[in-house]
Structure formats: structure tokens, C-alpha cells
Amino acid sequence: MSNQTQPNVPQRDTTRSDRLLALTMLAIGFGAIWFGRDISPMARVFPTTMAVVLLVLSALLLCKAFIRRSHEAPHETGSVPRRLLLVAVILVWGFTLNWLGFIASSVAGVAVLALIGHFQGWTPRRALTYGLALLATVAFFYLLFDVLLDVPLPAGTLWQRL
């Protein structure tokens, strides 16, 4: 969560990370100007102006990070592998939507995420209850979007080929 919601969490020294952030933003600003050089002047004026604004703000942050120390972010705790796994699973889910189809990719996706989000031991009863609840969720949203709201969901190119 953001430190906004955790007022009592000790803040870490962000001076070095501020320098890195400022340099990254400077690179993005210069990149926006560089990659915008082939665009017509009328379409270039706004992104170029915003890139210049970003450059100025990043330069200010860089100066500030060299002048005084800052403590503007909370100490990070918790499982890093679980975080990375979560992002990877959702990414794979997104990439396989068209190939596996909505139902198959969603059932696989929610099953893996349930494993990642669970910290206690698994019992057969718990696995069955959670499995049924997640299947019901997938079914409900499939019916809501595909049948009721008429939003076409991918059937899966894999199954169409078989």
C-alpha cells in the first residue's frame, strides 16, 4: 500500500533512489523529444512541451536529491517472489486470452493466483470450497459479459483448430 494509508510506517532514505528516478525521467523526457522529431509540428507541439516540463521537473528533483536527504517512501516488507509471480501470471493470462480462450485461461489464471495468495495449508475441503467459489465467479462474469451485456469474449484459437 502507499504510505498514504500507512501513516506510522517508518520511512526509508530515498535520496539515492530519487537521483535514479530523476535520471530515468530525464531519459524519458529526452526520449520523447528525440522520438517526436519526425512528427508533424502541429502534432509535436504538445508532447514536446510536456517533455520539456518533465525535463525541468526532473532536473529540479535531481538538484534537490544532491542538496538534501529525503525520506519519502516506506520500508518495503513482504514476499518478493509472490509479487513477481503475481505479475507474471497476470501477464501470461493476458497473452494467452486469445490462444487458450477466455474460460480456459481464466480458470487456469484464478487457480494459480489462489495458490499464490494462500498462506496457510491446504485441506481437501478448503481446496474444493475455494475451487467451486472461483469457478462460480468465472461463470458469473462470463454470463454477465458474454450473454447479458453481449461483450464477445475469445473462444480460443487453440480449440478452434482442434
Among 23, 28, 103, 104, binds other proteins (CB under 8 A): 28
Among 23, 154, 155, 158, binds other proteins (CB under 8 A): 154
- Position 156 contacts other proteins (CB under 8 A): no
Residues of 122-146 as b/e, b for ≥16 C-beta within 10 angstroms? eeeeeeeebeeebeeeeeeeeeeee
Give residue for cell 480462450.
101
> Smallest gap, in angstroms, from Cβ of residue 162 to other proteins?
20
> Smallest gap, in angstroms, from Cβ of residue 54 to other proteins?
4
Site for other proteins in 105-124 (CB under 8 A): 106, 109-111, 113-120
> Smallest gap, in angstroms, from Cβ of residue 24 to other proteins?
9
Among 149, 160, 161, 162, binds other proteins (CB under 8 A): 149
- Tell me the CA distances in angstroms from 120 to 27, 79, 114, 123, 130, one per residue in order: 44, 15, 12, 10, 13
CB-wise, 54 or 161, nearer to other proteins?
A: 54
CB-wise, 7 or 161, nearer to other proteins?
A: 7
Helix intervals (H) in the chain? 15-35, 41-67, 80-100, 102-117, 124-142, 157-161
Site for other proteins in 34-93 (CB under 8 A): 35-36, 39-40, 42-47, 49-51, 53-54, 57-58, 60-61, 64, 70, 72-73, 76-80, 82-83, 85-87, 89-91, 93
3-state SS assignment for residue 153: coil
- Tell me the CA distances in angstroms from 6 to 10, 95, 130, 151, one per residue in order: 9, 34, 30, 39
CA-closest candidate to residue 106, choices 98, 117, 31: 98
